[in-house]
Amino acid sequence: MTSDTPEKSLSLKQRFDRWMIKHGRVLVIGIPYVWLFLFFLVPFLIVLKISFAMAEYAQPPYSSLFDWIEEGVTVTLNFGNYLFLLSDNLYATAYLNSIRIAAISTVITLLIGYPMAYGIARARGSVRSILLMLVILPFWTSFLIRVYAWIGILDREGLINAFLLWTGIITEPLIMRQTEGAVFVGIVYTYLPFMILPLYSTLEKMDVSLIEAALDLGCKPWKAFLKVTLPLSMPGVLAGSLLVFIPSVGEFVIPELLGGPNTLMIGRTLWNEFFANRDWPIASAVAIAMLVFLVVPIMWFQHIQTKQEERQS
């Protein structure tokens, strides 16, 4: 040991390196947490706060929760917004309708996505990467533009009607846009990749010899699928379904552009409260209620996922 303490003899870079070895891990993990805190948790708390306020004609258009009176703070919580959601069955109807539309869309997406994912997973290497590219390709075009494209396809003067009129199959144009069916088409089209990708990743990982074993033990191919492939791909089915279901419930653009005036979904209700009625507290309460509705399936999903991971380790 020299008389110098080791700290003194270190260059700045060495000190930095040592500091990084000690604290680098915390730093790396910390960055996403700070991000999530600033851009997710804080806005959420603001919305939560507004949901307990009262609407006012002011700037901002809601009452303050905290009143500074001489020596203390009074907090005024207004549960009226939430009670109002319960009293007017417009909201309940919108919620239920959203869930119904999202659920049906999810099932359709699953029925279309599963065979596609299966096909991709079983394709040869070079073909497989091309097929995967094609699934991801639509993301390179703006979502809004793609939904507008569907207007062009489904409209009264759109592509389908033009074609059918030209062939003479119909004489009057079909009403396809501004129906619930158009909303399904829009949601299924938009969210299909989110179903295919997780399904693909579970199916691709699956050992082909399991299916061969089922055939070898006397299963016809369809039975081998039902008894082996399908149960083993459930994690993918679940992941895909939630990735489609959750954003579909809150979907605004698709019902707004493709749905009719009767397609009541919670995303549109929310928009109306904010921008048409300018009732921020009610709109916030709607948003919070939707969040609570969706947190339950998300937590259920995570619970299943952790169980699966435990099983694999």
Residues that bind other proteins in the complex, under the rule CB under 8 A? 207, 209-210, 212-220, 223, 227-228, 231-232, 311-312
- Cβ(102)–Cβ(187) below 8 Å: yes
Our CB check for other proteins shows the closer of 103 and 215 to be 215
Our CB check for other proteins shows the closer of 179 and 201 to be 201
Our CB check for other proteins shows the closer of 224 and 282 to be 224
Query: C-beta of 205: minimal distance to other proteins in Å?
Result: 12
Q: How far is CA 75 from CA 58, 64, 66, in A?
A: 19, 9, 5
- Consecutive H or E run containing 66: strand 66-69
DSSP E strands, the chain: 66-69, 72-75
Full DSSP string of 265-298 = -HHHHHHIIIIIS--HHHHHHHHHHHHHHHHHHH
Query: C-beta of 114: minimal distance to other proteins in Å?
Result: 18
Query: C-beta of 226: minimal distance to other proteins in Å?
Result: 12
Our CB check for other proteins shows the closer of 176 and 228 to be 228
Query: C-beta of 214: minimal distance to other proteins in Å?
Result: 8
Our CB check for other proteins shows the closer of 17 and 207 to be 207
Side chain identity at residue 246, one-letter code: I
What are the residues facing 67 on neighbouring strands? 74
Our CB check for other proteins shows the closer of 167 and 313 to be 313
Looking up tokens 């004489």, which residue turns up? 171
Query: C-beta of 259: minimal distance to other proteins in Å?
Result: 40
Our CB check for other proteins shows the closer of 71 and 310 to be 310
Query: C-beta of 216: minimal distance to other proteins in Å?
Result: 5
- Consecutive H or E run containing 215: helix 208-216
Residues 37, 39, 42, 46: what is their CA dihedral angle, to the nearest 10 degrees? -170
Our CB check for other proteins shows the closer of 232 and 291 to be 232
Angle at alpha carbon of residue 275, lines to 105 and 37, rounded to 5°: 75
Q: What is the number of alpha carbons within 13 Å of residue 135 lying toward its C-beta? A: 24
Alpha carbons 71 and 33: distance in angstroms, whole number: 36
- Cβ(78)–Cβ(53) below 8 Å: yes
- Cβ(158)–Cβ(178) below 8 Å: no
Query: C-beta of 210: minimal distance to other proteins in Å?
Result: 5
Query: C-beta of 235: minimal distance to other proteins in Å?
Result: 11
Instruction: Give the rounded distance of the alpha carbon of 244 from its chain centre.
Output: 6
